[in-house]
């Protein structure tokens, strides 16, 4: 996309947010936000902007009716340099998935934040036993599978919210993991990260209590992918179990890693849970309404129906 002719009209709306990224196929984000707005009687929508043109995006969001934007790949890191302010979590994670506006001295400032870590936190908190049984993960090591932007949010969430004393990272690409560790160390929470490269290293480590998988649902093919999958299997097969959040939900939330985990006695949390809670957090910023006043049940029902319909069509 490069011309304004491709951009949907917003003249019929009282307010809107953008969904900026490329490619945007199959995302449930517009459905999530439309469900929120319809249920709280706002004549708003989320407008998909499938584009790599950052300058175009920065012009479009100046529209007075624009309340902010979701930012997804490949823009989560690059967009930061164009913003006026960043929240603490956005700085620490090093990636922005949400823009909202703030008025200061008569000017409208672009503020970047990251709600992905809230999505991960709530996916665990809302789907696991409270109280005495919360030690399923608290005080135990955590593990993140992957090395991209979602991995950084997962490390931040496991460190800040879930209470993991160490965090293992398993990924096929050594340089990606090194970049994550260096970034997290600069932000002050990288010292507890351990890159687990081999089966032998995995066998010698304590079992993880909370796992976040941030990789696509593809069978391993290269030697590096096969070794990484073997490392994951070592942790899944350990006697002590916990909960695993499978962030991948397209084309199905029931992934190879998720199915294997369930068979081995792990509690599997679907990635749509993290997606829903990060989206509700975005709408908290945009609407000004507290999370408790947003229609969480209706959003869960709409996303479940969309997944069921997709499953029947394939």
* Chain segment 169-183, per-residue pLDDT in tens: 999 999 999 999 999
pLDDT exceeds 50 at position 159: yes
* Interval 121-132 mean pLDDT: 81
Q: Which residue has the tokens 């175009």?
A: 56
Q: For position 3, what pLDDT does the model report?
A: 41
* Interval 301-308 mean pLDDT: 93
Question: Residue 151 and residue 79: Cα distance in Å, rounded?
Answer: 18
134 and 70 part of one domain: no
Task: Sort 161 into a burial class: Cβ within 10 Å, 0-12 / 13-18 / 19+.
Answer: middle
153 and 196 part of one domain: yes
Q: Whole-angstrom distance between the N-terminal and C-terminal Cα of the chain?
A: 29
Which of 43, 65, 76, 239 is catalytic? The answer is 76
Residue 285 lies in a domain: no
pLDDT exceeds 50 at position 46: yes
Question: Residue 79 and residue 207: Cα distance in Å, rounded?
Answer: 37
CATH number of the domain residue 210 falls in = 3.40.50.720
Number of domains into which the chain is organized:
2
Contact (Cβ atoms closer than 8 angstroms) between residue 66 and residue 50:
no
pLDDT exceeds 50 at position 256: yes
Residue 179 lies in a domain: yes
Q: For position 139, what pLDDT does the model report?
A: 82
Q: For position 252, what pLDDT does the model report?
A: 76
pLDDT exceeds 80 at position 116: yes
193 and 246 part of one domain: yes
34 and 95 part of one domain: yes
Domain termination residue (choose one: 114, 137, 167): 114
Residue with the bigger pLDDT between 25 and 158: it is 158
130 and 143 part of one domain: yes
96 and 139 part of one domain: no
Supply the range of the domain harboring residue 48.
4-114
34 and 51 part of one domain: yes
125 and 110 part of one domain: no
Phi, psi (rounded to 5 degrees) for 49:
-125, 85
Residue with the bigger pLDDT between 3 and 29: it is 29
pLDDT in tens, 263-303: 999 999 999 999 999 999 999 999 999 999 999 999 999 99
Domain termination residue (choose one: 114, 130, 162): 114
Domain termination residue (choose one: 114, 144, 165): 114
In the residue annotation, 185 being an active-site residue is answered as no
pLDDT exceeds 90 at position 66: yes
Return the H-helix or E-strand segment holding 167: strand 167-170
pLDDT-derived band at 165 (thresholds 50, 70, 90) equals confident
Contacts of 80 (CB under 8 A, 6+ apart): 86, 90, 94, 95, 96, 112
103 and 124 part of one domain: no
44 and 11 part of one domain: yes
257 and 127 part of one domain: yes
Residue with the bigger pLDDT between 3 and 95: it is 95
Contact (Cβ atoms closer than 8 angstroms) between residue 284 and residue 291:
yes
Task: Sort 263 into a burial class: Cβ within 10 Å, 0-12 / 13-18 / 19+.
Answer: exposed
127 and 262 part of one domain: yes
Question: Residue 177 and residue 80: Cα distance in Å, rounded?
Answer: 21
* Interval 235-264 mean pLDDT: 91
| Sign for the pseudo-dihedral over CA of 37, 42, 46, 47 | positive
């Amino acid at each position: 996309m490069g011309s304004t002719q491709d951009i949907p009209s917003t003249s019929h709306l009282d307010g809107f947010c953008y969904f900026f990224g490329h490619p945007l196929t199959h995302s449930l984000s517009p459905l999530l936000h439309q469900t929120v707005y319809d249920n709280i009687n706002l004549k708003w929508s989320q407008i998909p902007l499938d584009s790599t043109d950052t300058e175009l995006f920065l012009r479009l969001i100046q529209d007075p009716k624009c309340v902010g934007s979701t930012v997804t790949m490949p823009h989560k890191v690059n967009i930061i340099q164009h913003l006026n302010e960043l929240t603490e979590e956005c700085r620490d994670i090093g990636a922005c998935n949400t823009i909202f506006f703030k008025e200061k001295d008569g000017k409208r400032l672009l503020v970047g934040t990251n709600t992905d870590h809230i999505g991960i936190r709530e996916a665990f908190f809302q789907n696991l036993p409270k109280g005495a049984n919360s030690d399923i993960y608290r005080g135990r090591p955590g593990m993140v599978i992957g090395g991209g932007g979602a991995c950084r949010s997962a490390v931040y969430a496991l460190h800040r919210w879930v209470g993991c004393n160490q965090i293992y990272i398993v990924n096929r690409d050594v340089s990606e993991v090194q970049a994550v560790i260096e970034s997290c160390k600069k932000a002050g929470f990288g010292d507890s990260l351990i890159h687990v490269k081999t089966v032998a290293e995995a066998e010698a480590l304590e079992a993880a209590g909370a796992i976040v998988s941030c990789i696509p649902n593809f069978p391993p093919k290269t030697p590096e992918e096969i070794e990484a999958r073997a490392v994951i299997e070592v942790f899944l097969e350990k006697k002590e179990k916990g909960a695993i959040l499978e962030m991948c939900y397209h084309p199905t939330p029931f992934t190879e890693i998720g199915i294997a985990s369930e068979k081995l006695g792990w509690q599997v949390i679907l990635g749509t849970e993290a997606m829903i809670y990060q989206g509700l957090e975005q709408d908290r910023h945009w609407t000004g309404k507290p999370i408790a006043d947003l229609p969480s049940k209706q959003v869960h029902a709409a996303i479940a129906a969309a997944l069921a319909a997709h499953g029947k069509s394939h």
